[in-house]
Amino acid sequence: MDAQNTPTNLLDRFNNWLQESITIKLLSIGFLLLMLLIPLSWIDDLIQERQFRSEEVVMDITSKWSGRQTISGPIVVLPYKYREVVKEKGEEPRIVEHIRHAFFSPNDLNITGKVEPQVLHRGIYDAAVYESTLTVNAKWKKEDAIALKINGEVLWNEAYMIFGISDLRGISDNPVIMNGDQKLASEPSNDLGVDYGSGSLKGLVAKLNWADYSNFDVPISLQLKFKGSRGLDFVPLGKTTNVSLEGPWANPSFNGEFLPDSRTITEQGFQSQWNVLHYNRPFAQAWLGSRDLSGYDFGVDLLIPVEQYQKSMRTSKYGHLVILLSFISLFLVEISQKIKIHPFQYILTGAALIIYYTMLLSFSEQIGYNAAYLISSLSTVGLLTLYSRTFLKPAKLVVLFSSLLTIFYSFIFVIIIQQDFSLLIGSIGLFIVIGAMMYLTRKINWYKNATVG
């Protein structure tokens, strides 16, 4: 052999070894899989960005209409004079007078109402808003008020009622407040003297002009028309709180600390009934000073579901699995059928499998998740089937590859829609896949250039 030709022959032998080595092939495929994790992470970021954008647009739409409404009250407030003896160093004791407040929630609180939802649109985004009319009837017992034993002079002529509504902009008509047969005038207030979460309770104030404790036996009623968005909540302030709510919304979601005692949901709308006792909540019927009333709301959500983002995110989590199974399928075909597949062809195949998720996201925003999944899956399987014909010459191998892709996407779809059994189905499915691979590779001699024994 000519010495000048030896390096060339060695180089050819080295190149041939790189092309034929199973180890090098596996390392190449593993490297490609690692590189494809980068665009897959971009897909997850894109889905989150689109979901945040959706929430921002919905919040912007609803903020111009009126926010989510929480109804609290009514509550009777009695101002009283509290006197205390103050003695400072070097001075004579003196009496200091303060104005404090006693709060009384109803013994019986009954609320009936109806919500009239509508959907506002901005581009591809929708927001649920509503108009509502509530009738509130509340009764107190003077015995409960006397039992508080206010230590001071009650200023009966300054007694007033407060009624909480979280977004005053939503009030669409003058409230009608009755104390027995007497109509009361009301004013809005951003501070009702009661804590609600991180801020003060907002709502309506109406002066009562009471004379003594006997006025506690006179019921108070209220008619309120208002607007809101996303949902409507109530605070169970009554010793017995009954709320009846209905509306033409076919997909309500009941939330909070208490679910309805009865509910009826049809395609025409819903009807719901709550009955909450004072045993079920942590605050008393009467108290002195401020009191936090948050944390025990209940009500109904009228949100328009945007499940396409959650489902798209869950689907993208299986992107690594689909790419891995697809590459393994091609690799097994390559070594068993003696067909050479170039790394660039693996790259294009992986790129198509990744673009699938952007198609799924974009289509799901327009036509919903299920239809988008069908279109994206058929498009991707069709594209890869046509492309595989360029390097999988036997037609049966092309059919096999496209069938495997169809099975993969069908399997992922079943996992996504079966949320409660997704882990069980996924585990069984992967177990079957591993078993099938063991069976199909049982005759491959991995130490003899992958020849079939």
d(CA 237, CA 121): 36
CATH 3.20.20 fits 67-304, yes or no: no
Residues of the chain with CATH 2.60.40: 67-304
Helix (H, G, I), strand (E, B) or coil at 271: strand
- Look up the pTM and report it: 0.71
**CB-based contacts of 212, cutoff 8 Å, min separation 6:** 156
- The answer to whether residues 351 and 110 touch, using CB atoms and an 8 Å cutoff, is no
pLDDT for the residue numbered 12: 62
Q: How many CB atoms lie within 10 A of CB 200?
A: 16
Q: What residue spans of 368-450 are helical by DSSP H? A: 369-388, 395-417, 422-440
**CB-based contacts of 195, cutoff 8 Å, min separation 6:** 201, 290, 291, 292, 293, 294
pLDDT for the residue numbered 419: 66
Measured torsion, CA atoms of residues 331, 335, 338, 341, in degrees rounded to the nearest 10: 30
Helix (H, G, I), strand (E, B) or coil at 274: strand
d(CA 368, CA 362): 10
Residue 383 burial (10 A CB sphere; 0-12, 13-18, 19+): middle
pLDDT in tens, the chain (453 residues): 444 444 556 666 656 655 566 666 777 777 777 887 788 788 778 878 887 887 788 788 877 888 888 998 799 988 888 776 666 666 666 666 778 888 888 999 999 999 999 888 887 777 888 999 999 999 988 887 788 777 778 888 888 998 989 888 888 888 899 898 888 888 888 887 777 766 778 888 899 988 888 888 889 999 999 999 888 999 998 889 999 999 998 888 888 888 888 999 988 889 999 998 888 877 778 888 777 787 888 999 887 766 777 788 888 888 888 888 888 888 887 777 777 878 888 888 888 888 888 888 888 888 888 888 899 999 999 999 998 888 887 888 888 888 888 888 888 888 887 766 777 887 888 788 888 878 777 776 666 544 433
DSSP class per residue in 172-214: -S--EEEETTEEE-EEEES--S-EETTEE--EEEEE----SGG
